Amino acid sequence: MFKYSIYTLIFINLIYFLREEYVALAARFPDGIGFRHAFDAFSQSTDSFAWLVLLLIFELQTYIISDEKLKGVLKWTLNLMAGVCYILILQALMGYINHMEVIYSFVPHMRGAACDAVGTVSSFAVDLYEFPELTAENCGLLTPGATFFNEPLNAFTTAELLPYLENLALTDVVNAGTWVLIVVVLWIDIFLQLRGELTEKLYKWNGVLKAVLYATLIACCSYWAWLGDLMGFWDALLWIVAFFFIEMNLFKWHEAVPADADEEETQKT
């Protein structure tokens, strides 16, 4: 039950990210998003949705469905669904990269006080997806000489907030890219396990590679906590725990059904 409660919490986070990105639409895309920018606009929620579906597919493949039934139409249906998820995940990764490029577009504001731009500059960037309207009440927080302007966002931010925004955007890209690498290795594990070709040696080498990748994810998770981005930390922690269960499923599956080459080696000895 604990495992499925983690999956449920991830779904709740998906709803949170969807709402957060929807609220930020007006500031990030004042001219509308259109189909071309849809993945950029909803990169977090698209990423979470695709990963949640892929997580459930991995759960089916490594734990719920037996090897005898995981073939034919069922096997190819799951593979097709996983393929769609991979495409969405890569699109979301590109969305994170594009968003990072936008965040890195802040330049020093040299045209007078920020309060003079109320009504012209639309918002005040305080987080990656939080853009409160620039008003006469909050423009005083933007001091001359320490204010930065972002033309694509039509937003100001402060010299103190800018490194925070840039580091968050970069961490999003590193985290998303690392997850893509993990899923590639995990897919190889599952593919070879189904074919009876996941030898003990290969499984251990893949395990070493995934250990390095998971350590990178833990570093991203810890960095979010250090920055004070508690939602980013919480979501990353849930995903790491969720995939720990998938890895345990794979471990038990591999132990129960060793590779053909390993069985032959055991018989020889």
Q: What is the pTM of this model?
A: 0.82
Distance between CA atoms of residues 262 and 67, nearest Å: 18
Note whether 189 and 198 are within 8 A (CB). Answer: yes
| Arithmetic mean of pLDDT, 54-82 | 89
pLDDT at 111 exceeding the cut of 50:
yes
Please give the share of the chain, as a percent, with pLDDT higher than 70.
90
What's residue 107's pLDDT?
94
Angle, vertex CA 128, rays to CA 118 and CA 123, nearest 5: 10
What's residue 268's pLDDT?
46
Confidence of residue 262 (pLDDT cuts 50, 70, 90): low
Residue 246, H or E segment: helix 230-256
Quote the mean pLDDT of the chain.
Answer: 87
29: left (phi over 0), alpha (psi -120 to 50) or beta: beta
Dihedral of alpha carbons 165, 167, 168, 173, sign: positive
Give DSSP secondary structure letters for 143-205: -TTSEEEETTTTEEEETTHHHHHHHHHHHHHHHHHHHHHHHHHHHHHHHHHHTT---HHHHHH
| Arithmetic mean of pLDDT, 98-114 | 90
